[in-house]
Amino acid sequence: MHELSIASAILDAVREEAGKRPGVHVKKVGVRIGALSGVVPEALTFGFSALVQGTDLDPLVLEIESLPRRQRCPACDFTFEVAEETLACPRCAKEETLFAGGDELELAYLEVEE
């Protein structure tokens, strides 16, 4: 379960950022996870909760924003979310589109209390 190591890395980043601002308590951390990232949000949430429990960061909340797969059509320069299995452009119907996102795993924000 690589989600546990991802949760640990998120907590390391939270501690590092909080260390730059003495007296600040981090209440929430937000992450963006793409549909093609290979990360199972439920497993990440479970691992994160287990690692936070009983620490100085407890009751830190993890908020996950799921991002869909996106493609870009080079013919009409339209970027779209892939809703079904087809990768064809919904605007001009061209079959040849390019990958434009959906594999993200990024720390989006920290919500802090002074």
**Domains by residue range for the chain, with CATH:** 3-12+24-113 (3.30.2320.80)
Rounded Cα distance between 6 and 47, Å, is 9
Mean pLDDT of 48-76: 96
Cβ–Cβ contacts within 10 Å for residue 98, how many? 11
Q: pTM of the full predicted structure? A: 0.85
Structure confidence at residue 45 (pLDDT) = 97
Checking if the pLDDT of 85 tops 90, the result is no
What single letter denotes the amino acid at residue 21? R
Confidence at residue 1, expressed as pLDDT on a 0 to 100 scale: 57
The mean predicted confidence, pLDDT, of the chain is 94
